[in-house]
């Protein structure tokens, strides 16, 4: 292994270690609660009308081979 490659791998390892350590402390919320008024607007909902998005997903999934992870349904479905 060349010296350059060795130093590069050491730098990557050090970076990964720092990132892991940084993950041990909870990050400070960079968007304060009083700055989130736009997310309370219904137009920012990922799924404003569950009855409608569920139906459209149903139609598309019955015509296509792919399935899942559509956002409107994923994990918890984002129905709120």
The footprint of another protein (CB under 8 A) covers: 26-31, 33, 35-36, 38-39, 41-44, 46-52, 54-80
Question: 19 vs 76, which CB is nearer to another protein?
Answer: 76
Separation between Cα atoms, residue 53 and residue 75, nearest integer Å: 15
Question: 3 vs 32, which CB is nearer to another protein?
Answer: 32
**Minimal distance, residue 19 CB to another protein, in Å:** 16
**Minimal distance, residue 24 CB to another protein, in Å:** 13
User: Coil, strand, or helix at residue 41?
Assistant: coil
Return the number of other C-beta atoms located less than 10 Å from residue 53's C-beta: 19
Question: In angstroms, how far apart are the furthest CA atoms of the chain?
Answer: 61
Question: 5 vs 37, which CB is nearer to another protein?
Answer: 37
Long-range contacts, 34-37 (Cβ 8 Å, 24+): none
């Amino acid at each position: 292994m060349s010296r350059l490659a060795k130093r590069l791998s050491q730098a990557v390892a050090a970076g990964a270690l720092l990132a892991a350590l940084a993950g041990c402390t909870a990050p400070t919320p960079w968007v304060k609660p009083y700055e989130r008024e736009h997310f309370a607007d219904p137009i920012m909902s990922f799924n404003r009308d569950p009855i409608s998005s569920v139906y459209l997903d149903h139609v598309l999934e019955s015509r296509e081979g792919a399935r899942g992870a559509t956002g409107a349904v994923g994990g918890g479905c984002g129905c709120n």
